[in-house]
Amino acid sequence: MMKFRFRRQGTDPQREKIKQELFAFNKTVEHGFPHQPSALAFDPKLQLMAIGTKSGAIKVYGAPGVEFTGLHKDTTAVTQIHFLPGQGRLLSLLDDNTIYLWELVAGAPREVVTLLHFLHPLLLLSATRVTVLLLLRSCDLLCIGTEGGGVYFLELPRLTLKDSQTLGEVLDSEAFLPDDYRCGKSLGPVESLQEHPQQPGKILIGYSRGLVVLWDLSTRQVEQLFLGKQQLESLVWERSGNLFVSSHNDGGYSVWTVTNGNTCNQQPVSSTIPYGPFPCKAINKILWRTTQTGSPVLLYSGGMPRASYGDRHCLTIQQDKEHVTLDFTSRVIDFFTVHSIEQEKEFDEPSALVVLLEEELVVIDLQNPGWPSLPTPYLAPLHSSAITCSFHISSVPPKLWERLVNAGKAQQGRQHAHGSWPICGGKNLAPPPKQQELLLTGHEDGTVRFWDASGVALTPLYKLGTANVFHTDCDPCDDPQDPSNDPDMQQEEEWPPFRKVGCFDPYSDDPRLGIQKISLCKYSNKLVVAGTAGQVIVLGLSDERSDHMVDVSVVDLLQDREGFTWKGHDRLEPRLKPAPFPPGFQPLVLVQCLPPASVTAVALHAEWNLISFGTSHGFGLFDYHRRNAVLARCTLHPNDSLAMEGPLSRVKSLKKSLRQSFRRIRKSRVSGKKRTITTPTSKVQEANAALAEQEDVAPVQRRIEPRSADDSLSGVVRCLCFADTFLRDGTHHGPTLWAGTNSGSVYAYALEVPGVGSGRACERGGAGESSVCVEAVLGKEIQLMHRAPVVSICVLDGRGKPLPDPYEASQDLAIAPDMTNAHSVLIASEEQLKVFSLPKVSAKTKFKLTAHEGCRVRKVALVAFSSTAQEDYSEHTLVCLTNLGDMHLFNIPALRPQVRYDCIRKEDISGIASCVFTKNGQGFYLISPSEYERFSLSAKVITEPLCSVQLDRPLEPTPALQGSPPLACCSRSLCGFLPLTGQTEEPPSALSSPILDTPLDSPLSCADLTLDSTGELTVEDVRDFLTTVDEAENNLKNIKEEEGRSTGILIN
Amino acid sequence: MNKNHRVPSNRSLSAVEVKSKFGAEFRRFSLDRSKPGRFDEFYGLLQHVHRIPNVELLVGYADVHGDLLPINNDDNYHKAITTASPLLRLFLQRKEEADYTTFGTDSLTRKKNTVLSAVLLRPDTNRKKTPVIISLPRDFRPVSSIIDVDILPETHRRVRLYKHGQEKPLGFYIRDGSSVRVTPQGLEKVPGIFISRMVPGGLAESTGLLAVNDEVLEVNGIEVAGKSLDQVTDMMIANSHNLIITVKPANQRNNVVRSGGGGGASGSSGRSSDSGASYYGYSSQGGVAAAVSMPSHIIQNFPVGELESDEEDEDLVIEAGGEAEPIRRAPSNYSMPTLPRYEPHLNLRNANARRSLEEDGTVITL
């Protein structure tokens, strides 16, 4: 009994060394769009853009391939980010009223000083909440506007309070202010702080009540007063400093002139409510950019007529007569323009507008007429429709790559201008990828997107829609494919002149279109996609546009089993008339399973022209060359009635329920258009969701019962695989098909494919190949005793290596499999890994993972790991991702555990469910609906950012920090950042080495942290100003307590 | 072949005379009592002497009481040999029933079963329901045992549940909880896994060896400390066909007292149940008190023990485990010598049976 103990390989030092050369776990890059962005900033000098998120992450992007990540220790929303231009430093203001200073360092961005706890959270006074930050151009002073109306000044980079300069009381005492602008004693929250563009030291302070003050820092006097009539939202200077623009709560904006000698300005030069006269929503932010050609460009978000378009997320660009209302599908977080910043230039000359939306980033080219949008080379909204599955192909042949790129260009050409990407800071130092990698994502709306996953920036290549194979309620051809065509026509009649921008579209026309499984043969360019309504589509790549009919076949998987009625959705209606298919992948054959349950597994063998597909009812084999169904096999257990209830039964399908909850979240987030399509499944979904929630509430108690054949959904086909191996006897090998089900059954069929295989098949095939059909004969039926779902089946050759992909052997693209020694089959169930010899199917080796570790196998892949030390040495390894989110690596066929890594949080069920592995030891999983985390298990194959940025400052620690230990970095990529000023300056070793030693995400990295005296002083100083005496004492007490506990607490 | 067979020497007639009847034919031969060999050799010998090499046989013998008892594994074969006085009368039958492959204690058939043929393991459903005569060996199967009494602390109990081929559910639930541990620093509360609920009529309840609020310490030899409820659930389910749970019973009054003397009583209770309500235990002499539905009733305040069971409506269960485990010798296969007896004889033969078991040195297992 004790032999169950985790088998341990003797600590053979030789083997340990090899393992180190093969395996290493790193999370390398996050692909996609940051989840829940909350702040945006741009450094015009370095051309870097920073995005902060609600979870406290800061991501900095430059040219494609240049990216850095920092993570605040708290998961507090980042509300504002301000760059210190040219320095590679930035300030972040968090929702909890703390300000952090970050800087880019060799290795990674890291926190330098974290300023004040503005106040202890418990003592937060409404009067002291930070509302705005202004960093003076000189970068030595930070102005902080607060809710209480006070403005405070901090010296940078030490972040110490300049107590001599606090503004608030001064103004409060200004007797001549009308009482309207007072809020009790003070002036109300500060809404905006803007520095005079020409005269440093003069700042414009806008209060929420509409009062705007021009303040001179050097004389400490009010230079001018502007008495706005409306509640203020934002302020912006014109470049010359002669006028500024304020935007207001009522949807209007006002232009004010700044003329010397006039201390109190009652009236703006002009005041406009662009979308009036009916009540409008506030203009949250306004920008005023001058151009050489004449009229300034005015950009503002919001301001829509409240009643008719109050729910739209809009941004208006206006210049002269030209007026475009960009209509987004998600909320506008912030925006900026890329424009000339050189002081001597007279005009702004904006070249691009960058808009951060809640779900995507949109860039508008302001230089080309019509203001077209630019394709983004990174930050792609992966989730423009919810991701339902993914598939990875490594070493894509150049020919296929080229054709895909061309097909993608043809698609994009219609939509996007070919302007250059405006954010181009930093330099990507990563060598060009040795091989091209494709990531395919299947989406809820029936599209498959092809991404270039070769490098750090995940770029869209090509998008394939499958909806046009079907006849759907809203025919895709009726839809305006090209949003830029329509607005031109609409411009005349519609006001405001809306233009749909962006590609985030969470609404699926028909949930049945959703893609569930994808398989691509990179040599024959055949693609199989399978979806929610049992549709399996075989597509071929074509460079020409084509109008053709798609052949349709229906395969009944129930096979006359009686007593079942399908209560789920109907199958999709195939399109009856020929449809136009653009260049790219074009559908050839459509196979529809009956009942139309969601496809749960597909396999493609392009060399044999066969596809196989499985649902919760059974599996089928289809010859797409001859267009005939070869086999349909029902896997239903007679007692399993739940399988018939529809796509979502009550059975715990966490993957699905999670996806649903994501959908729910999204629905609630994206306010506005309500979708009330009542599909037959939506009621079932609701009921299931309700049920799932009930389950959550139930007391935590688990039933201990072995799985039985009666368990529901036991017939779900979990995996399918084709293999050329020995099934009938040990001397003749031939094509086989393997299928594994949810209840631990494995079916192995011997196939006779004309012209393929040794022995009999050939002889028969010789008679008349064209007339002969593919035949399938059941060879073996295996029932795993523990009845756990079969996750994966894979045939190993005589040397214990996985069989090569179709065409690889016949085209000499891979080492031919060993067909002389006995083959074996590796069957991975949720509980056990097992290798059986073939053809006898007797167990050779096994590993009972669940019995030992209490975890269940979720994903399995056979991966070739190459060694860092020896060029030509590689090992095939079985990688298992378990329900606890850890990776177990086993050698094959001995199934000895090699290493184990914690990878995904075990609570992150959707992350675990979404994980895909590459063939060379990398992988992807979703960390949010919109982001893939890329990780590497291989010591050799790692894709991570490698870039440099030219900075103005020497790469020295900030003076404030000297003498104090460097603070730990919060970055994921340790070597992602190279010395900034390039090769001339060595990074001080004191700075770089501790960082490299710090383990990633280690709790120690916070604990080590000691705060230098500067920080403490700062806190005390601030306290004096912002709190009463009692509070100050409390504060002090708190701080002392905190110090007693941990030195690092002030940073939190 | 007969390397370590422990054969009693007290009844030492050197040879056993065997009279074997198959159909209308008789064969006579003799066996060395001290070296009986193994059952499958014996089986082969029978086929040979009857010249029916390919016929599947059911082997039965008449015991001292005149009952027809099966021989289908080494243990009951040895038992038959040792109790034969002096003649061993055998009755051979064709195995006609197709369902004989049903998993049971039959070691011969068991060997043929690979994991793969587990499809076959589903007990066939039309077998029961006949108001059963306790006879055919396949109807006897251990359902539970207490094991490792000698190596575990007295406060702990290691229970083995044999789910194989059972129609009954395992029938228990587990939950999270916290328990108090004594540590050098004093008492400490640690999270633990507890049995939260028993399903009436389930295997767990019927054994009476597990009870609500027992703390689960190990599952098949692997400690559960530090594992989540879900992990422990998965481990138990993965081992469900042969589940060994080490618990710290909530009720510590029924613990095994080891000093009670080596060989202790063994209780096996066979319980038939045509329809339920009855259960049989040894009410008299130092037997096992069996409890049915209230696990807390189980009293095992004498060495060893265990056993007991419940009423089940169709199946006959004879618990094999009922042997003390004085010293465990070879951990033999758990397919234990079941001692099939007719109900009426149980009490009568109890002492007898026990003695012979001891003599045999058959062990329970693990």
The span from the CA of A606 to the CA of A359, in Å, is: 38
Which ranges of A628-710 would DSSP assign to H, the alpha helix?
Answer: 654-669, 680-697
The span from the CA of A974 to the CA of A27, in Å, is: 10
Chain A interface, best mutation among B103, B162, B205, B222, by max A CB count within 10 A:
B222
pLDDT at B162: 82
What single-letter amino acid sits at B67? D
Mean pLDDT over B335-356 rounds to 37
Among the partner residues B117, B234, B237, nearest to A855 by beta-carbon distance: B234
pLDDT at B141: 66
- The DSSP element (H or E) to which B2 belongs, if any, is none
The span from the CA of A114 to the CA of A158, in Å, is: 9
Of the pLDDT bands very low, low, confident and very high (cuts 50, 70, 90), residue B261 is: very low
The span from the CA of B230 to the CA of B233, in Å, is: 5
Which ranges of B223-345 would DSSP assign to H, the alpha helix?
Answer: 229-238
Yes or no, beta carbons of A853 and B241 under 8 Å apart: no
What letter would DSSP give residue A306?
H
Mean pLDDT over A259-264 rounds to 74
Mean pLDDT over A450-476 rounds to 85
State phi, psi for A886 to the nearest 5 degrees: -105, 155
Yes or no, beta carbons of B114 and A842 under 8 Å apart: yes
Among the partner residues A1, A704, A852, nearest to B233 by beta-carbon distance: A704
B163 to chain A: which residues are within 8 Å by CB?
706
A268-277, A654-663, B98-107: range with highest mean pLDDT: A268-277
ipTM: 0.73
- Which residues make Cβ contacts (< 8 Å) with residue A581, sequence separation at least 6? A468, A542, A545, A546, A547, A548, A587
The span from the CA of A854 to the CA of A524, in Å, is: 42
A707 to chain B: which residues are within 8 Å by CB?
237, 240
pLDDT at A493: 58
What single-letter amino acid sits at A920? N
Among the partner residues A783, A786, A842, nearest to B238 by beta-carbon distance: A786
Tokens of A405: 């790129």
The CA-atom distances, in angstroms, between A907 and each of A236, A694, A912 are 45, 18, 9
Q: Say whether residue A639 is in contact with chain B using an 8 A CB cutoff.
A: no
Mean pLDDT over A362-374 rounds to 89
Instruction: Provide the edge-to-edge strand list for the sheet that holds A459-465.
Output: A387-393, A438-443, A447-452, A459-465
State phi, psi for B137 to the nearest 5 degrees: -60, -25
Tokens of A419: 């302007």
Please tell me the distance in Å from B292's CA to the nearest CA on chain A: 20
Query: Do the Cβ atoms of A252 and A264 come closer than 8 Å?
Result: no
A702 to chain B: which residues are within 8 Å by CB?
173-175, 229-230, 232-233
Closest CA to A165 of A127, A185, A136, A189: A136
The rounded Cα A656 to chain-centroid distance in angstroms is 19
Range scoring the smallest mean pLDDT among A52-61, A152-161, A710-719: A152-161
pLDDT at A686: 57
B175 to chain A: which residues are within 8 Å by CB?
699-702
B243 to chain A: which residues are within 8 Å by CB?
704
Residue A985 has pLDDT above 50, yes or no: no
pLDDT at A834: 93
The span from the CA of A899 to the CA of A918, in Å, is: 18
Of the pLDDT bands very low, low, confident and very high (cuts 50, 70, 90), residue B302 is: very low
Sign of CA dihedral A904, A906, A907, A908: positive
Q: How many CA atoms lie less than 13 Å away from A907 in the CB half-sphere?
A: 1
User: For chain B, how are helix, strand and coil distributed in percent, rounded to 5?
Assistant: 20, 25, 55
How many Cβ atoms from other residues are within 10 Å of residue B93's Cβ? 14
- Which residues make Cβ contacts (< 8 Å) with residue A343, sequence separation at least 6? none
Helices then strands (H, E): number in chain A? 14, 64
Crossing angle between the packed helical segments A1013-1026 and A1029-1045, to the nearest 10 degrees: 160
Of the pLDDT bands very low, low, confident and very high (cuts 50, 70, 90), residue A98 is: confident
Yes or no, beta carbons of B118 and A5 under 8 Å apart: no
pLDDT at A860: 95
Mean pLDDT over A440-457 rounds to 93
What is the average pLDDT value for chain A, to the nearest integer?
Answer: 78
Identify the residue whose tokens are 């690979």.
B114
Range scoring the smallest mean pLDDT among A66-75, A288-297, B181-190, B314-323: B314-323
Please tell me the distance in Å from A5's CA to the nearest CA on chain B: 7
Sign of CA dihedral A893, A895, A898, A903: positive
Residue A56 has pLDDT above 60, yes or no: yes
- The DSSP element (H or E) to which A932 belongs, if any, is strand A931-938
How many Cβ atoms from other residues are within 10 Å of residue A12's Cβ? 10
Residue A430 has pLDDT above 50, yes or no: yes
B241 to chain A: which residues are within 8 Å by CB?
706, 785-786
The span from the CA of B159 to the CA of B218, in Å, is: 10
Residue A848 has pLDDT above 80, yes or no: yes
A781 to chain B: which residues are within 8 Å by CB?
119
Percentage of residues in chain A having pLDDT higher than 90: 40
Please tell me the distance in Å from A61's CA to the nearest CA on chain B: 40
Q: Say whether residue A851 is in contact with chain B using an 8 A CB cutoff.
A: yes
Mean pLDDT over A766-774 rounds to 61
Range scoring the smallest mean pLDDT among A78-87, A197-206, A388-397, A651-660: A651-660
The span from the CA of A323 to the CA of A327, in Å, is: 13
State phi, psi for A193 to the nearest 5 degrees: -130, 125
Q: Is A580 exposed, middle or buried (0-12, 13-18, 19+ CB in 10 A)?
A: exposed
A845 to chain B: which residues are within 8 Å by CB?
none
Residue B232 has pLDDT above 90, yes or no: yes
Of the pLDDT bands very low, low, confident and very high (cuts 50, 70, 90), residue A650 is: very low
Among the partner residues B118, B197, B235, nearest to A850 by beta-carbon distance: B235
pLDDT at A983: 27
Residue A977 has pLDDT above 60, yes or no: no
- The DSSP element (H or E) to which A795 belongs, if any, is strand A790-796
Among the partner residues A4, A705, A855, nearest to B231 by beta-carbon distance: A855
Of the pLDDT bands very low, low, confident and very high (cuts 50, 70, 90), residue B158 is: very high
| Digit-coded pLDDT (tens) for A884-936 | 999 999 998 899 999 999 999 999 999 999 999 999 999 999 999 999 999 99
The span from the CA of B40 to the CA of A936, in Å, is: 55
Tokens of A195: 């520095």
B115 to chain A: which residues are within 8 Å by CB?
784-785, 843
Query: Do the Cβ atoms of A879 and B256 come closer than 8 Å?
Result: no
Chain B interface, best mutation among A4, A696, A704, by max B CB count within 10 A:
A704
Of the pLDDT bands very low, low, confident and very high (cuts 50, 70, 90), residue B7 is: very low
Mean pLDDT over B25-46 rounds to 84
Q: Say whether residue A844 is in contact with chain B using an 8 A CB cutoff.
A: no
pLDDT at A473: 64
Three-state DSSP state, A680: helix
What single-letter amino acid sits at A975? C
The CA-atom distances, in angstroms, between A597 and each of A279, A513, A551, A646, A648 are 50, 12, 20, 7, 9
pLDDT at A102: 83
pLDDT at B34: 80
Chain B interface, best mutation among A702, A837, A840, A882, by max B CB count within 10 A:
A702
CA angle A703, A708, A709 (to 5 degrees): 150
Among the partner residues B173, B239, B240, nearest to A701 by beta-carbon distance: B173
pLDDT at A1012: 27
How many Cβ atoms from other residues are within 10 Å of residue A927's Cβ? 22
Range scoring the smallest mean pLDDT among A120-129, B145-154, B194-203, B285-294: B285-294
Give me the residues paired with residue A901 across strands. Answer: A887
Residue A997 has pLDDT above 90, yes or no: no
The CA-atom distances, in angstroms, between B227 and each of A902, A1024, B231, B238 are 15, 50, 6, 15
Chain A interface, best mutation among B116, B194, B199, by max A CB count within 10 A:
B116
The span from the CA of A663 to the CA of A386, in Å, is: 8
The span from the CA of A192 to the CA of A253, in Å, is: 14
Mean pLDDT over A24-32 rounds to 91
Query: Do the Cβ atoms of A802 and A834 come closer than 8 Å?
Result: no
pLDDT at A725: 93
DSSP per-residue codes, A569-621 = PPPPPBP-S-EEE-SEEEEEEEEEEES-PPP-EEEEETTTTEEEEE-SSEEEE
Residue A523 has pLDDT above 90, yes or no: yes
pLDDT at A809: 82
Please report the number of interchain residue pairs, chain A to chain B, with beta-carbon separation below 8 angstroms. 105
pLDDT at B74: 84
Phi and psi based region of residue A572 (left: phi greater than 0; alpha: psi -120 to 50; beta: remaining): beta
Among the partner residues A4, A701, A841, nearest to B197 by beta-carbon distance: A701
Residue B263 has pLDDT above 50, yes or no: no
Q: Say whether residue A884 is in contact with chain B using an 8 A CB cutoff.
A: yes
A788 to chain B: which residues are within 8 Å by CB?
238
Residue B313 has pLDDT above 60, yes or no: no
Mean pLDDT over A999-1013 rounds to 30
Query: Do the Cβ atoms of B246 and B158 come closer than 8 Å?
Result: yes
Q: Say whether residue A2 is in contact with chain B using an 8 A CB cutoff.
A: yes
Closest CA to A202 of A210, A211, A193: A193
Closest CA to B307 of B322, B295, B318, B294: B322
Tokens of A382: 């992966």
Mean pLDDT over B208-218 rounds to 91
Of the pLDDT bands very low, low, confident and very high (cuts 50, 70, 90), residue A578 is: confident
Identify which has the larger pLDDT, B196 or B53.
Answer: B196
The span from the CA of A805 to the CA of A824, in Å, is: 17
Identify the residue whose tokens are 């107590």.
A163
Query: Do the Cβ atoms of A725 and A838 come closer than 8 Å?
Result: yes
Tokens of A251: 């949807």
Mean pLDDT over A787-799 rounds to 93
Domains of chain B: 15-94 (3.10.20.90), 144-254 (2.30.42.10)
Mean pLDDT over A378-390 rounds to 90
Mean pLDDT over A125-140 rounds to 77
Closest CA to A446 of A462, A463, A459, A465: A465
